[in-house]
Chain A
Amino acid sequence: MRALARKRWRELWQMRSQALAIALIIASGVATYIISLSTLDSLKLTQSNYYQTYRFAEVFVSLKRAPLSLLERVRDVEGVREAEARVRAQINVEVPGFEDPVTGLLVSLPEDRPPLLNQLHRVRGRMPTPDSPWEVVINEAFAQAQDLAPGDTIVGIINGRREDLAIVGVALSPEFVYQIRPGDIFPDYERYAIMWMGYRGLSVAYDMDGAFNHLVLTLQPEARAEPVIERLDALLEPYGGQGAYTREDQLSHRYITQEITSLEAMASLFPVIFLAFAAFLINFVTNRLIRAERDQIGVLKAFGYDNLTVGWHYVSVILVIVLAGAAVGIGFGAWAARALTGVYIEFFRFPRLDYVLAPDVLVTGILVTLGAGIAGTLQAFRSAVGLSPAEAMRPDTPLVYRQSLVERLFGHRLLDQPSRMILRHIGRAPLKSGLTVLGVALSTGLVMSGNFQEDAIDYMMWSHFNLAAREDITVTFNELAGNEAQYELAALPGVMQAEGMRSVPVRMRYGNRSYRSVIQGYEPDAKLHRLVDTGLQPVPPPPQGLLLTRYLGEEILGVQPGDRIAVEVLTGRRPLLELPVAGFVEEYIGVSGYMELAALNRLMRDGHVLTGGFLAIDPADQARVFDELMRRPGVAAIAQRTQSIDSFYESFAETVLVFTFVNTLLAATIAFGAVYNSARIALAERSRELASLRVLGFTRAEIAYILIGELMLLVIIGVGIGFLVGRGICALFAHAISSDIYRVPLVLEPSTYAFGAAVVLGSGLISSAVIKRRLDNLDLVAVLKTTE
């Protein structure tokens, strides 16, 4: 079969630009598939290895104060395997040369041994020594953001006293993979520090000597968490226990899980769409390529080649293209996935990267594209060999043309002859035209879906910070504060407005569903921090009942307005309440319940108290306001709106947008491949007809109009439908990644539509230019001499 083999390679070379376009489609499809799935696998593997190696706890609980002797009883609780008691304290920190307020969380370390649970991964320096009380290890993210290293000193406001804290080491912990200051929405590494110091120093400073206020534990292999939590809560109640919770409600773990879930949604949705689309295109393109080879199939058969040999010949041509594309896709995909995993691992600060590319991911990616290519080839081939060789060598019988719909509707005068040819040609093969349109539409949709996330995130941020959370500063108190705290805040120089708020940790239950969240009490006439309904109109917190974030109500708890839910308060006297759901509010970030402040206080029976406040300040006085707040020991944390927005875009958005960028790039590649191939095939199918017209005296521009006009007409129709397809894909996507941490609104900016259209129309124009050049060089005589 040497001559056949030569035929294969030469023809591959002749159709190299088309083959390249097909291979690119395949490469893009396979790459997306591999990037998504292997990044996801790697991230999960890295996370689980990290948790295992550093013994991440499974149950967590904060309490007011319990003696260390209680630890024995905790260890005896049925289902508990290991337990470790710690002291944790929220403090304000001053970093030399940095003006903004910085908050820190101090966590105690055992003096004489490494921690049993939540062990540290030391990046630099050493651990604190028992004899020097003010030595701390700081977390790496903070060290990097503030450019701090072992040997540097920072100031901690510890129980009202300024203490110099000597940094001796930099570390990572599975407990703080995601470091979010309580009350914040996004991490802010510059202004939130996790610090570890020896138990003795910390416990003495906070009057916790021989006691603890935080407990972490692991479970026996077969133990279920709920009964353990129940027993634990009962045991810790007298000591001010605030309700034990599992990893699921642990802030850091929840955020990573959420992040991974979002990635999973992308990883299951995008590659499936990409791969399916790539498969569709290959099928479509190979089908038409092989159809164009009809006469050669006839010749080969006329000389006694059997169907199997001829079939394999064509399948092998497609195979080469598909495998080359898949190889490039795998190479690029694996490289990009590694890089992307690196970005995520950097983002989460896992101590090391465990990259994995599962063989089944590889095999599936290859098989799907290969299958599609071969199916397309065989389908076309079957129809070619089904004919007798004599018929295969004859040109296609003239197809039955009809007047197009436009002509029938508007009469003949409206259109010139070439325009009529375009419409009749489209109408003659509606399926073929339809497939081209479908391909273009899917391409447009894919490109749009890449851009969509950016729009959605922008809108999410805009609506949250401009309509709802309009305060400049959020202050969180250490303990319940009286009403006077609000007046004190309002009276600070530079503060223009102050609103009090109360936040109460609760567990909400409805039927067998439960969710750990908070109820926030706001002032009814709040101007700074407001609730917003679907129509973006502010709604006051209700004096009766509870407003829930729609997602919390509908998706998590499954309640409707009017239903009554059980609310287990996790602080203070821990009352069990039953509250009616007054309605839903639309929020894209976070979920919680809302009440009027006074109503919440009445329920809690604590008098008029606050846990924090919202401030509007004069920007000129910002530094002074911070200074004043920092000096007050009652202030646990200060968050700034602008910094929240900035830090979000710096960290969180970056990782999402890297992914998005890669997707957009690949979508654009696919779009180009689709349009270019349609154009080239149309050229091959019609060059004879167009050459005949040239012979009849048509100009180059006129025949180009017939072909390119048709192509662009189909592209434009496709783009129009593509807008709908894009919206559909985005809706699917938004739904898939919705969670309690954030919901992606289905917001598509005109620029996204424009971008999708631009990429596809651009592909159309480039393809048209290629076709135009080929048409200009059409060898009239040669074309007319050929068999057809």
Chain B
Amino acid sequence: MSAEHRQYRNGRDDAPRDTADNGCSQAIFVARGLTKVYHVGEVEVHALRGVDVDLYPGEFMVLLGASGSGKSTLLNILGGLDTPTEGTVRFDDVDLTGASESELTGYRRHSVGFVFQFYNLIPSLTARENVAIVTEIARNPMTPEEALEMVNLGPRMDHFPAQLSGGEQQRVAIARAIAKRPEVLLCDEPTGALDSKTGVHVLEALARVNEEYGTATAVITHNASIADMADRVLFMSDGQISGERRNETRRPPSEISW
């Protein structure tokens, strides 16, 4: 990663990628003892049962688990979209679990980028405008055009979501997530709705952002092949972390298929 890229990261250039593995650098996220209980209709669902997790600066982490293992819940809590029933999350020394509504809003506005499985683009806005809706409120954003070039969507900027393929829509979503230059990128099954070939383009975009900007990235997926492109893989099942693996080398997305 080049020095000039690093300086885009909101002044957080003290976390070179190669320290991600050694554990001595301070983690961006520190989550301890997270539990989450949902009430769905008349049923009580224990989505998380005591999860501890750390995410380090510049790290590319994959959370692997079957559907219903609690990984989306974990990601939502890390992103400030949801609150745990018990446990704590610290982001950069800020306690998210005790944060006020406006602190959480500021956190989401400036520090986190989200990519959702179903893109969640705003159908009435073009690709460019979908990115602009985020850059307009961010502190030090790229231009929407820059962000879209980054995911190779420059030529289709003025198309509405309905005029884009699924893969293209997901890349718009990635552009939207990175345009604010977040410290962390949280992706919930980014390729879940895509075929292998399109999915690879999306993964390439994610890897490139992680490479070039050093954005700490957490991707959750049930697709084991994606795990090979990560620095570190956490396995989740039944609301708990059931294992952890470090990849000595990250496989480029172009070599992945499913």
Contact = CB atoms under 8 A, between A and B. Distances in A.
A469 B125 CA distance: 73
Given A14-B124, A307-B101, A390-B82, A301 B108 contact: yes
- Interface secondary structure of A, over-half rule: helix
Interface stretch (B51-59, B133-141, B223-231): B133-141
Contacts of A782: 162
Given A296-B122, A393-B116, A304 B132 contact: no
A388 B75 CA distance: 13
A14 B136 CA distance: 24
Interface in A283-309: 295-296, 298-307, 309
A290 to B, nearest CB: 15
A261 B76 CA distance: 65
B122 A299 contact: yes
B41 A397 contact: yes
A303 B116 contact: no
B120 interface: yes
A400 interface: yes
Contacts of B107: 304
B41 A304 contact: no
B81 A390 contact: yes
Contact of B108 (A2, A303, A400): A303
Given A4-B133, A303-B134, A391 B82 contact: yes
Given A3-B125, A295-B120, A388 B82 contact: yes
Interface in B160-188: 162, 166, 176
Given A1-B136, A296-B122, A6 B81 contact: no
A303 B110 contact: no
A565 B133 CA distance: 81
A7 B125 contact: yes
B132 A306 contact: no
Contacts of A7: 122, 124-125, 129, 133
B118 interface: yes
B37 to A, nearest CB: 13
Interface in B108-162: 108-110, 114, 116, 118, 120, 122, 124-125, 129-130, 132-134, 136-138, 162
A3 B136 contact: yes
A309 B109 CA distance: 13
B9 to A, nearest CB: 17
A6 B176 CA distance: 17
B102 interface: yes
A409 interface: no
Contacts of B82: 388-391
Contact of B193 (A303, A306, A785): A785
Given A2-B132, A304-B108, A10 B79 contact: no
A689 interface: no
B125 A388 contact: no
B191 interface: no
Interface in B86-110: 101-102, 105-110
A785 B194 CA distance: 11
Contact of A304 (B76, B105, B118, B162): B105
A28 to B, nearest CB: 29
Contacts of A295: 120
B79 A302 contact: yes
Contact of B125 (A6, A302, A306): A6
A7 B110 CA distance: 22
A535 interface: no
B83 interface: yes
B41 A299 contact: no
A565 B116 CA distance: 86
B18 interface: no
A399 B40 CA distance: 9
Nearest to A388: B82
Interface in A239-282: none
B83 A787 contact: no
A164 B208 CA distance: 110
Residue of B81, B82, B130, B134 with most chain A CB atoms under a 10 A cut-off: B81
Contacts of B122: 7, 296, 299
Contacts of B129: 3, 6-7
A685 interface: no
A654 interface: no
B118 A302 contact: no
A393 B106 CA distance: 19
Contacts of A302: 79, 81, 108, 114, 120
Contacts of B138: 304
Contact of B118 (A11, A305, A787): A787
A634 to B, nearest CB: 85
A2 B105 CA distance: 20
Contact of A388 (B81, B166, B176, B193): B81
A10 B105 contact: no
Interface in A1-36: 1-4, 6-7, 10-11, 14
A307 B109 CA distance: 12
Contacts of A300: 133
B42 A306 contact: no
A305 B109 contact: yes
A401 to B, nearest CB: 10
Residue of B41, B122, B138 with most chain A CB atoms under a 10 A cut-off: B122
Interface in A394-446: 397-400
A69 interface: no
Which 4 A/B pairs are nearest by Cβ-Cβ distance? A304-B109, A390-B76, A390-B81, A3-B133
28 contacts: A3-B129, A6-B124, A7-B122, A7-B124, A7-B125, A295-B120, A296-B122, A298-B81, A302-B79, A302-B81, A303-B114, A303-B133, A303-B137, A304-B107, A304-B134, A305-B109, A305-B137, A307-B105, A390-B76, A390-B79, A391-B82, A393-B81, A397-B40, A398-B41, A399-B41, A785-B118, A785-B166, A786-B118
Interface of A: 1-4, 6-7, 10-11, 14, 295-296, 298-307, 309, 388-391, 393, 397-400, 782, 785-787
Given A4-B136, A307-B105, 20 more contacts: A2-B132, A3-B129, A3-B130, A3-B136, A7-B122, A11-B124, A301-B81, A301-B108, A302-B108, A302-B120, A303-B108, A304-B106, A304-B109, A304-B137, A305-B137, A390-B73, A390-B76, A398-B41, A399-B41, A787-B118
